[in-house]
């Protein structure tokens, strides 16, 4: 604080401002320009410390669309890393995220506008190769499919001269073909 020759006290305050982001530029004065100041009153000059900081939101578990919208609204820059398979995170949902230049920052930390946030979307569960069910019993085939979180469906009985009765003769899809988690494998 300093005292001007007319008895006013001049005080400088600093704040972050999106309207006046240039550091050390005047954001506003108190009282505002054009208002009268009585002798002995304080004249405050508010000077910019740069852009207002943004608080990082928690993005994990949000849909990618919602995460991008939340970041864009905060004037942060979302970029997508290559999507990854996840058994636990539904497709189109954020598996994880990080600040591009500082991976140590987490939700609640403050960053400047235009900070780049890298989000990793989920592709959902990875397709599994259909197991080879031929020559297994129905119980063995069902157990093998259950272990892979696949659904078993028994088709009509078929005759085989090579495989004994009560065992799987054919299956759809064929062994090794990809099947989405929860997908059905039919055997006969």
> What distance in Å separates the CA atoms of residue 169 and residue 163, rounded to the nearest whole number?
7
Residue 102 DSSP class:
B
* 16 in Cβ contact with 55 (< 8 Å): no
Which ranges in 15-158 belong to alpha helices (H)? 64-73, 138-147
Could you tell me which residues come within 8 angstroms of residue 33 by beta carbon, excluding any fewer than 6 positions away? none
pTM for the predicted model, two decimal places: 0.73
- The pairing of beta strand 26-30 with beta strand 42-48: antiparallel
* 177 in Cβ contact with 150 (< 8 Å): no
* 185 in Cβ contact with 179 (< 8 Å): yes
Cis, peptide link before residue 147, omega less than 30° from 0: no
Read off the pLDDT of residues 133-185 as tens digits, 9 standing for 90 and up: 999 999 999 999 999 999 999 999 888 989 999 999 999 999 999 999 999 99
Residues in the chain: 188
Read off the pLDDT of residues 58-116 as tens digits, 9 standing for 90 and up: 999 999 999 999 999 999 999 999 999 999 999 999 999 999 999 999 999 999 999 99
Q: Both tokens of residue 64?
A: 């990618």
């Amino acid at each position: 604080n300093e005292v001007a020759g007319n008895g006013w006290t001049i005080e400088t305050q600093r704040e972050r401002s999106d309207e006046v982001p240039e550091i050390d530029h005047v954001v506003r004065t108190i009282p505002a320009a054009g208002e009268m100041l009585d002798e002995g009153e304080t004249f405050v000059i508010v000077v910019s410390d740069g852009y207002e900081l943004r608080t990082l939101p928690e993005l994990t578990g949000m849909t990618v669309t919602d995460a991008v919208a939340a970041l864009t609204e905060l004037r942060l820059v979302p970029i997508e890393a290559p999507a990854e398979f996840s058994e636990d995170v539904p497709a189109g949902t954020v598996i994880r995220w990080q600040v591009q230049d500082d991976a140590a920052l987490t939700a609640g930390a403050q960053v400047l506008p235009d900070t780049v946030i890298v989000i990793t979307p989920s592709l959902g569960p990875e397709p599994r190769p259909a197991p080879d069910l031929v020559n297994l019993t129905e119980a063995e085939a069902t157990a093998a499919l259950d272990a892979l979180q696949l659904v078993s469906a028994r088709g009509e009985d078929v005759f085989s001269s090579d495989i004994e009765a009560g065992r799987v003769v054919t299956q759809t899809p064929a062994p090794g073909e990809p099947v989405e988690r929860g997908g059905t494998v039919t055997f006969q």
